[in-house]
Amino acid sequence: MSSPSLPFLDPAACGWIGHGLVRPECVLATRTAGLFTADWRGGVAHLRPDGSQALYRAQPVDGEALKPNGIALRADGSFLLAHLGDGRGGVFELRRDGATRPLLTAVDGSDLPPTNFVHEDAAGRIWISVSTRLRPRALGYRAGCEDGFIVLLDRRGARIVADGLGYANEVALDPGGQWLYVNETFGRRLSRFRLLPGGDLGPRETVAVFGEGTFPDGLCFDAEGGAWVTSIVSNRLLRVAPDGSTRQWMEDADAAWLARVEQAFRGDAMGREHLDKVRSRRLRSTSSLAFGGEDLRTGYIGCLLGDAIAVVAMPVAGIPPVHWNYS
């Protein structure tokens, strides 16, 4: 099925929810409990349906405040945090009273590098992405750098199940639960792996390759099987249909700045300055998308450089995430 034939989304039509957030990279929507976002004040921000907010702040680990990038909401109300530390990463569990404990800090005999994303599926398996092994991470902002990997933590323990990825970012299971999808940000592609018995993965398959100005980050699915992808820097929102065809639905970017970033990327000179100084009208480096609302047709967009969550009417309904009925 190809992308729905509906109008291009205007960034000027975006509404906003929340205030005072710090780097809300990842946003999770629930049926009745509101939104939860990663927050670099050291934990998770809760945007309640009544408009109030709370911050569940994690305890520092070895004197270092946690820097949550991806987060996952668990059935008991606790959270998993992917720690994008300066020196090391890992996944930590945070309870709402602030109690914090490490869940996974090493795999296959090595400490986890700064960790990008964490997702717990309906079967209780925990999928973790590490974008690059290089330090600083900006050295991985290269088309030829393919040292990202995916970790699976299940009843068998933790192990690397996919390696050699071009800056592994968000991961998601397809609606049928047969494939694990992953965005490769600087590989500029959406890839997938077939789930095999025992949690192993089949070989990598390319679902879509993206062109100039697209750096895929956030990932989720709609009710028709389409994969929605957010792009940092260009503030693009794209839909990859089940047949692999791709349509761009939204963009909010300064053309001259985007061309400058593109030139740096093609010259293997892309650095933090190209991610931290995004120029646009409204959106500030779109990094995640969550479907929500009563009919799952409201899109909530997290932005790396934002202090609130963008809200937009979506052209198609999303699928309920695994945490949809959690509170």
pLDDT at 1: 43
Q: Is residue 1 part of a domain?
A: no
Q: Is residue 5 part of a domain?
A: no
Q: What is the mean pLDDT of residues 118-127?
A: 97
Q: Is residue 192 part of a domain?
A: yes
The range of the structural domain enclosing residue 154 comes to: 11-313
10 Å CB burial of residue 4 (0-12, 13-18, 19+) is middle
CA distances from 243 to 54, 173, 225, 246, 315 (A): 41, 17, 10, 9, 18
pLDDT at 167 over 90: yes
Q: Provide, rounded to the nearest whole percent, the portion of the chain with pLDDT above 90.
A: 90
Tell me the Ramachandran region of residue 205: left when phi exceeds 0, alpha when psi lies from -120 to 50, beta otherwise: beta
Q: What's the CA dihedral at 113, 182, 216, 40 to 10 degrees?
A: -40
Gyration radius (Cα) of the chain, Å: 18
The overall average pLDDT reported for the chain is: 95
pLDDT at 61 over 90: no
Look up the CATH number of the domain holding residue 35.
2.120.10.30
pLDDT single digits (tens) 72-86: 999 999 999 999 998
Q: Is residue 318 part of a domain?
A: no
Q: Is residue 196 part of a domain?
A: yes
The span from the CA of 264 to the CA of 46, in Å, is 37
Q: Please choose, from the candidates 91, 79, 29, the residue with its C-alpha nearest in 3D space to the C-alpha of residue 294.
A: 29
Q: Is residue 44 part of a domain?
A: yes
Q: Are 219 and 186 in contact (CB under 8 A)?
A: no
pLDDT at 171 over 60: yes
Q: Residue 88's pLDDT band (boundaries 50, 70, 90)?
A: confident
Q: What is the mean pLDDT of residues 130-146?
A: 96
Give this prediction's pTM. Answer: 0.96
How many domains is the chain partitioned into structurally?
A: 1
Q: Is residue 6 part of a domain?
A: no
pLDDT single digits (tens) 254-291: 999 999 999 999 999 999 999 998 877 789 999 999 99
pLDDT at 281: 76
pLDDT at 4 over 60: no
Q: Tell me which residue has tokens 């987060």.
A: 71
Q: Is residue 151 part of a domain?
A: yes
Q: What is the mean pLDDT of residues 159-182?
A: 97
